[in-house]
Amino acid sequence: MEVEEGAIMSSNFFLDHGGEVVVTLDSNGLSWKSVESANNELSTSSCLGIKRASKTEAEIKISDVYAVEFVNWGLIHETILPTAGGRLLGRNAEMYRFTVHGYQKSKNKRSLFVLASHTFGHKDLQTCQTWIDRIGTSISMETMRPKSLLVFVHPLSGKGNGCRTWDTVAPIFSRAKVSTKVIVTQKAGHALDVMTSITPEELNSYDGAIAVGGDGFFNEILNGLLRSRHKAPYPPSPTEIIYATEYTDSIPISIPTASSSGVSHQNGEHDPLLQSSEPSQPVFSKFGSEGEPCNTDQDPLFPLPNTRFRLGIIPAGSTDAIVICSTGSRDPVTSALHIVLGRRVCLDIAQVVRWKTTTTSKDEPFVRYAASFAGYGFYGDVIRESENYRWMGPKRYDYAGTKVFMKHRSYEAEISYLEVKTEAKDSTNKSLTDNGNLQLRTPPKKSERVICRVGCSICNETTKPTHTYNNGTSVAGQRHPVESRWLRSKGRFLSVGAAIIANRNERAPDGLVADAHLNDGFLHLILIKDCSHAFYLWHLTQLAKKGGNPLSFKFVEHYKTPAFTFTSSGNESVWNLDGELFQAHQLSVQVFRGLVSLFATGPEV
């Protein structure tokens, strides 16, 4: 039986291990049920009126199908059910077959995708070919799916299984007919060099670049993409901030957001995270350090933010925090499916400008980008110490962390951060009185936290440039009218952390900041003041605890901000940028909202 009405198509097939079924294809996807169920509208696999889910009654959306392929003449196995309805094959029978490849969500963890394939058989070759063509046409209408990708494989990432990880997921890309140019890196900085030197024309021939590795390897590819292509003014230097706060309390600024250039994040029938291709507007001013003009002209051949080109990660690292926060799972197959199915989420990126490497150096401003985290003190010391134990693999971080913790070093530093007060309720645990003094307030209850997830209302919220002025300060691109000013914190700190995303990982199941978002234009500045060994251990144990509250201590300062500056009082300062070492005595950081797109949707939590 074959019925075709408009966009709806229906035929009888034999499902491998499922018996005879009626298969229906419409604009939403593919569905099938046993012949007897279709005829009687009553499942024969029910008992005492309770319907049992079975393989002969299922559906799959076209958006969840990544491939359909003809598998030629061969066996269709008899049903594994005691009764399947319709005609039974008796023993195995041979016929023409085709397989629909998709996925199912794990019953135990919704964010984990499990490969699922469904093979259908029919005696008529033309019937099979017609269905393959129709399903293929439906798949081709999913226009956001990539066709060509540049893949970088780090062979020594994590436990040295980068190549093995790629070999595991490569068949998914082949079935999905995604062309891949695979580069196995030969040395540190190889991917950075390739991404930096690639021409705009060649870059536009790809739909994205994929990192098979960890957060540090992704950072290398990110910096290769952005360093020579992202044109934006520098944020104010610490010296400029000190002058401004001492004499004027504020300086003219404009918050860096992709949305301030007319980029819109809308909910509706279209992908809610698609952006305009308009480049970001100038952030603070048209000038860099000491009044030198900055080139803010975007490359017309490859503008940023870019609506088409996406980055992706197939996890093979030591922590894989970016993958966990953007997909909810540290699973290579899940990440590969997000990529071939063309998923998209926008990701905030922090621009880090180093003004001085040491106290006496005279450096030109040097720019790096970070997608997840920038940390100093404890965090920088751990990453520096761990470099001596790379032969240990991921366990080096535990060993290095223990050594650094036992030393319990604190550092004198000065941090200035931009306080942005909106009409929206602020989730930080600090507020300002009318006279400008900081006062503690009760942090939000855990039930009040808005956790970033699939379809996140905060990340998807449309922003329009609005301007209000306070002592000469202008702030653009926020959701509500805002007031802003620079505030300072000076003293001895065990650590300074800037979390751009939540940074969930196996050691910190809720991350550094549980309610940090992928695409809200802010980072979370966490200052850990000098305290006793016991108190710091208490803080760390709260980080490692599911449902912990590591930011509730009196020695912890937590600020949600789009920008901050840092100056060390010591001779040497080591930072951790997405798991990579970065030496900086003096630096400034600003966040660009949704600067890059990632093959992901956000976690299901």
d(CA 409, CA 222): 32
CB 326 within 8 A of CB 162: no
DSSP characters for 294-341? Answer: P--PPPTTS-SS-SS-EEEEEE-SSS-HHHHHHHS---HHHHHHHHHT
Q: Distance from CA of residue 452 to its chain's centroid?
A: 11
Count other C-beta atoms under 10 Å from residue 585's C-beta.
23
User: What are the Cα distances from residue 55, in Å, to 8, 29, 47?
Assistant: 22, 16, 16
The residues near 363 (Cβ < 8 Å, ≥ 6 apart) are: 354, 355, 356, 357
Terminus-to-terminus CA distance in the chain, angstroms?
43
- Token representation of residue 65: 């199908």
The residues near 511 (Cβ < 8 Å, ≥ 6 apart) are: 321, 325, 499, 501, 502, 503, 504, 505
Marked catalytic residue, from 16, 64, 207, 215? 215
d(CA 408, CA 571): 18
CB 377 within 8 A of CB 572: no
User: What are the Cα distances from residue 382, in Å, to 188, 344, 354, 387, 407?
Assistant: 20, 33, 21, 9, 11
Work out the burial of residue 582: count CB atoms within 10 Å of its CB; fewer than 13 is exposed, 13-18 middle, 19 or more buried: buried
* Secondary structure percentages of the chain, helix, strand, coil, to 5: 25, 35, 45
Alpha-carbon torsion, ordered 271, 331, 169, 453, to 10 deg:
0
User: Mutual orientation of helices 215-226 and 190-197 as an angle, nearest 10°?
Assistant: 20
- Token representation of residue 230: 């992202």
DSSP characters for 159-188? Answer: TT-HHHHHHHHHHHHHHTT-EEEEEE--ST
Three-state secondary structure call for residue 202: helix
Three-state secondary structure call for residue 457: helix
Helix (H) or strand (E) holding 247: helix 238-247
User: Mutual orientation of helices 162-175 and 332-340 as an angle, nearest 10°?
Assistant: 40
Between CA 560 and CA 463, with CA 417 as vertex, the angle to 5 degrees is 50
Mark residue 82 as left, alpha or beta (left: phi above 0; alpha: psi -120 to 50; beta: remaining): alpha
Is position 515 annotated as part of the catalytic site?
no
Q: Distance from CA of residue 583 to its chain's centroid?
A: 26
CB 458 within 8 A of CB 520: yes
Alpha-carbon torsion, ordered 533, 586, 595, 156, to 10 deg:
-60
Residues taking part in catalysis: 215
